[in-house]
Amino acid sequence: MLYLILFAALAIGFFAATTMTAQMSRNDRVVAESQMAAESGLQFARRQVNLMNLTPDPDPATAFGQMYAKLSAQLAGTTNMGGRDPTRFTDASGNDVICIPGTTGTAAGPTYGWMSLGGVAGQTRAVLTRAGSNVTLTAYGRARAAEPIARAVQLTYVPRKLAWTAPGAGVLTRSPVVLSNGAQIAGGDVTVATAQAGVAPLTMSGGTKIEQNFFYTANPKAPVITNGATVAGQIVPNTPMPSFPVVDGSAFEAFVPAAGTTGPKVITATTSIPATATLTNIRIKANANTSFGNAIKLNGVIFVESPNKVTFGGGVTVTGVIVTDGNASVAMASNQITLDNGVRVDGVEALSAANFTPAVWAAERLDDLKDLAGALVLAPNYPVVLAGGARTFNGTMVASKFDISNGYRGTINGSLINLADTSFNMVGGGQITFAGGGGTIPGLYAGSRLVLDLASYLEVPP
């Protein structure tokens, strides 16, 4: 009887141990398959992110919207989505998220879609969550549909701008070019990419001249060249669409007082500036409509808030860069930058420690600013007017419209780049000779990519 009881107890023990071992083995298998599914989902989402080329935007929500649009274009209707294309919404915690595959239901109680890894090898889904300008990618995995989520892994991406390379000295414009009354462009090519219907890409009259080549993208109208006007180089139609830069002036804005502050370096009106003032790294407030004249010296960054019409003329000396805030919500008609007769403008590379006390040089971070050499004017959504005088400008100018008038004659060591399909007009006997140019220019970018922070990998609670 004792042996019977002993063997029965052993049998029960062996049965319990075997059952427990089988259950533990199953649990280990579920966890392993869930981990594999989560890692697979992470790699799938990483590949989709790597395919993106995003336009820099100061508003993280707008940039996240670009990401959603590109993900939708890449994934919508694909087999992986199982009929649930990516969705974007604000979740119950107020986070801006994109779900791959998409969700149904409400933000407070969404039903998530899943991607199958094939057969019974597991399911996965990914969520992109915006935190400021960074994006966190979290991938969830489960062994199969009937199982709970067992594993989740996470990575963080940070935006990195892609440098834009200027094509070389000359004119690059999205708008038609109009030359009249003896105007001449020498030393650089002229490239036009206008989409204005029924408008010739180039109109020349009255003895005007382009000494090098003229390129234009597909256009049903040919250049109109009359009254002794000439293009000495080639006229090349159907040119492939050139690359235009995106302006991001944040690196320059960092040198001036913060928005909303006051002080002697924050300009609110012309009358507040003494006639012989020397100002370094200033902010011009919206609607100041400042006209700099007399013997004023401006050094470093001149940062312009919109709307504004700012004129640099008379005996003004600018050694630095003029940068606008790029506020596209303001009508361009309310903005203008004018470089008038007599103004001298040199780039930040011309700043010299000999002209500053050591304390001022260090406090204004002028050594750092000199590393941003290359541009004179970065003014998206602004017309730029070059009026009268003979003057050399050492740097590239970027705007959304150009008017060159009153006999301006000079050399530009860089390019004139018009970002908008507006106009590029040159009248009144002016002459521009381009020299130098090309290379990368701080503040001008070709787009941005989200770059993986390798140290950010985490296994997180599912």
pLDDT (tens digit, 9 = 90+) per residue, 251-272? 999 999 999 999 999 999 877 7
SS3 181: coil
Contact assessment for residue 141 and residue 117, using Cβ atoms and an 8 Å cutoff: no
Tell me what the mean pLDDT of segment 274-299 comes to. 92
Whether the ω angle into residue 101 lies within 30 degrees of 0, i.e. cis, is: yes
E runs forming strands in 201-347:
202-204, 209-210, 214-216, 224-225, 230-231, 235-236, 246-247, 266-267, 278-284, 291-292, 297-304, 309-312, 317-324, 336-339, 344-346
Tell me what the mean pLDDT of segment 36-55 comes to. 89
Pick from 55-69, 243-257, 295-309, 383-397: least confident: 55-69
pLDDT tens digits along 326-380: 999 999 999 999 998 768 889 999 999 998 999 999 999 999 999 999 999 999 9
Mean pLDDT of the chain: 89
pLDDT given for residue 92 in this prediction? 83
Q: Tell me: pLDDT of 233 over 70.
A: yes
Pick from 22-31, 100-109, 191-200: least confident: 22-31
Pick from 141-145, 283-287, 412-416: least confident: 141-145
Q: Tell me: pLDDT of 10 over 80.
A: no
Please give the torsion angle defined by the CA atoms of residues 236, 237, 240 and 242, in that order, rounded to the nearest 10 degrees: 70
Tell me what the mean pLDDT of segment 314-330 comes to. 93
pLDDT band of 109, cuts 50, 70, 90:
confident
58 against 308, higher pLDDT: 308
pLDDT given for residue 25 in this prediction? 59
What is the C-alpha separation between 56 and 444, in angstroms, rounded? 10
pLDDT given for residue 235 in this prediction? 97
pLDDT band of 96, cuts 50, 70, 90:
very high
pLDDT given for residue 119 in this prediction? 60
Q: Packing angle between helix 60-75 and helix 2-50, nearest 10 degrees?
A: 110
Contact assessment for residue 268 and residue 287, using Cβ atoms and an 8 Å cutoff: no
Q: Tell me: pLDDT of 191 over 60.
A: yes
Tell me what the mean pLDDT of segment 382-396 comes to. 87
pLDDT given for residue 16 in this prediction? 58
Tell me what the mean pLDDT of segment 175-182 comes to. 95
Tell me what the mean pLDDT of segment 205-213 comes to. 95
pLDDT tens digits along 115-154: 988 765 689 999 999 988 899 999 999 987 777 778 999 9
Q: Tell me: pLDDT of 462 over 90.
A: no
Contact assessment for residue 423 and residue 178, using Cβ atoms and an 8 Å cutoff: yes
pTM: 0.80
pLDDT given for residue 3 in this prediction? 65
311 against 389, higher pLDDT: 311
To which residue do tokens 């071992």 refer? 21
pLDDT given for residue 29 in this prediction? 74
